[in-house]
Every structure is written in C-alpha cells, then in structure tokens.
Amino acid sequence: MYFVYVLKSLKDSKYYYGLTKDLRNRLKEHNKGEVKSTQHRKPLELVYFEKADTILDARKKEKYFKSGFGRKYISNKIKQMALSSIG
C-alpha cells in the first residue's frame, strides 16, 4: 500500500505533493530537513492523504493532485475537513 500526501508549509503556506509507503516516517524526514525540495519550507504539516494500492496508482494520483483540477480537488477536500471539524 502507498500513500499520496499533501503537506502545507507553515513558513510560506505553499503545498508539497508526494507519495510514500511509510507516511509517518516521510513526514518526519520532511520536518527534519532531510528532503531537499522542502528543507527550506519547514515546518510542514500533513493536510491531506489518500491510500493507493500500487505505485502506479499512487503516481497517477500524485500527478492529478499537481494538475489544476487536482489542486481544486485538494482545496475542496481541505475545506470540507475544516468545516466538518467545526461542527
């Protein structure tokens, strides 16, 4: 099983999209500065993730998340989660 995830930088509010087999460990790596593409954007918080059965499915989903439609999808999901946590 794989995870496709979205991180938000608490420094500049930008998003990072990625995939991994071990979500907890990957988030730790990002926040320790061990991932070159996000080391200057720490700290990061996990704002969304989805499971994928295969690496191919995960790559397709990650590519979609990075597209215009995918960014809108993620934005809507994050808003829905925020609203559901309020009440």
pLDDT in tens, 48-66: 999 999 999 999 999 999 9
pLDDT attached to residue 30? 98
- What is the rounded CA–CA span in Å between residue 87 and residue 84? 6
- Residues 8-52: tens digit of each pLDDT: 999 999 999 999 999 999 999 999 999 999 999 999 999 999 999
The pTM for the full model equals: 0.90
Domains of the chain: 2-86 (3.40.1440)
* Residue 81 pLDDT grade (very low, low, confident, very high; cuts 50, 70, 90): confident
Position 84: which residue type?
S
Instruction: Give yes or no for a contact between 60 and 70, defined as CB atoms under 8 angstroms apart.
Output: no
Instruction: Give yes or no for a contact between 49 and 23, defined as CB atoms under 8 angstroms apart.
Output: yes
Is residue 43 reached through a cis peptide bond, with omega within 30 degrees of 0 on the bond before it? yes
